[in-house]
Structure 1
């Protein structure tokens, strides 16, 4: 089939536009990076810039922090982008994706385990020894069988939490020291050892925006902030 001159011209224009778009997008991103870096030093290192569902609005990602700007970086928005038509918080969805935790990537060496029954089911929990909700959660967990719970200590509630976390981590039997304290209020005995694991847990919590305890992570990647009861745990373990 022989194309007419007019069709060839249209095809050439379309091809030229297609070739130009990546360069235009790159130039636009470069302009945003340049302007924001010059005006806001904290944004000198931007990890990613991408278009949003809203025309003319761009997402600026720094680590797990999400901001929004226009095509030239002249304005900056900090807050949630809402899809009113579909009733969705696009910012929350994006942050949830950015902070998703792959269970197999959790550093097992920085946790101690509590095994109940055959221990086949898996659950990781980030906890502070002085957290009241954690104590309630731990008592409820006594009613959940056939599970291995990996406890990641993150002492975020003060100096006493740091001391208790250290003594529990350095105990000869970590799980027993933890259970004695959480269930029976038996203060863990003073002990000292290498606590790099606790420091690493705090960094991990910061990376994944774990700001409250307990925070549960199930084997399928489901993340639950806050204490839930045994029935809810069972449901998530078995699904």
Structure 2
């Protein structure tokens, strides 16, 4: 009888340890493990358990990485659903990088209304950005019924600040911007007493994590980094609730 009790006790201990081993670690535990391993200056914003074979999402700013339950391995790449073709990592990045459009300081942007202006976007552009000029000369020129708020985001050179100030201080900012971006006609030098919101827009862009131009924001807070063609812009508008 003692032997049977001993066997039952051993089985119960084994089963308890197996259950404990199957319980996944908490996101907080993973964060404590991985953050010091990533370097002194790296701050992990969140850890989230995913449904992808025991992987954990590691969010650092607007970047998404993955790790295992022991925080031993780090995966830098995108996860795709092969059944639907969806880029699950891109969808997640798009979700966490959304902004509240109504919080944008639109008084610091150049406003352009085309057609009925029913669709709204905000575009961050540098006056020395070739891709921004191409966006203006093709996509935005071909797109109608849109209100465009242009934030002059000077990140390419000191000369960008000068050009942006000259355009901001022009009698017709919208025309001056198009003259430069589309036709290559520079705005006259601004008067010394004219103030442009260059520094405020630069700080805003940094806060929003904009690392390159152009960057396009939509009414639902989603963004597209980089230039796109007119067809892709129209497809995006169909998905956005204005």
TM-score norm. by structure 1 comes to 0.71
- Displacement of 1:59 in angstroms is 0.9
User: Matches of 2:222 and 2:187 in 1, distance apart?
Assistant: 31
1:34 alignment partner, SS class:
helix
| Cross-structure match for 2:156 | 157
2:185 alignment partner, SS class:
coil
Q: Describe the superposition over 1:125-156 as per-residue Cα deviations: whole angstroms up to 9, x where unpaired.
A: 22221233333433444454543211011223
| Cross-structure match for 1:30 | 28
In 2 relative to 1, CA 233–68 (structure 1 residues): closer, same or farther, beyond 3 Å?
A: closer
- Displacement of 1:43 in angstroms is 6.9
C-alpha contact (below 8 Å) 2:94/2:222 kept by paired residues = no
Report whether the alignment pairs 1:226 with 2:227.
Answer: yes
User: Matches of 2:202 and 2:111 in 1, distance apart?
Assistant: 18
In 2 relative to 1, CA 52–146 (structure 1 residues): closer, same or farther, beyond 3 Å?
A: closer
Report whether the alignment pairs 1:217 with 2:217.
Answer: yes
Report whether the alignment pairs 1:76 with 2:77.
Answer: no
Comparing 56-65 with 174-183, which one deviates more in the overlay? 174-183
Gaps of 5+ in 2: 1-15
- Displacement of 1:80 in angstroms is 1.9
| Cross-structure match for 1:90 | 88
In 2 relative to 1, CA 83–117 (structure 1 residues): closer, same or farther, beyond 3 Å?
A: closer
Report whether the alignment pairs 1:168 with 2:167.
Answer: yes
C-alpha contact (below 8 Å) 1:116/1:148 kept by paired residues = yes
C-alpha contact (below 8 Å) 1:152/1:201 kept by paired residues = no
RMSD over aligned CA atoms reads 3.3
| Cross-structure match for 2:111 | 113
User: Matches of 1:217 and 1:169 in 2, distance apart?
Assistant: 21
In 2 relative to 1, CA 111–85 (structure 1 residues): closer, same or farther, beyond 3 Å?
A: same
| Cross-structure match for 1:186 | 185
Q: Describe the superposition over 1:93-135 as per-residue Cα deviations: whole angstroms up to 9, x where unpaired.
A: 2112112344333331331201234434323222221233333
2:176 alignment partner, SS class:
helix
| Cross-structure match for 2:202 | 199
The aligned length equals 214
User: Matches of 1:134 and 1:30 in 2, distance apart?
Assistant: 42
1:129 alignment partner, SS class:
coil
Q: Describe the superposition over 1:27-68 as per-residue Cα deviations: whole angstroms up to 9, x where unpaired.
A: 633332222233333476322111112222111112212111
In 2 relative to 1, CA 205–211 (structure 1 residues): closer, same or farther, beyond 3 Å?
A: farther
User: Matches of 2:26 and 2:238 in 1, distance apart?
Assistant: 48
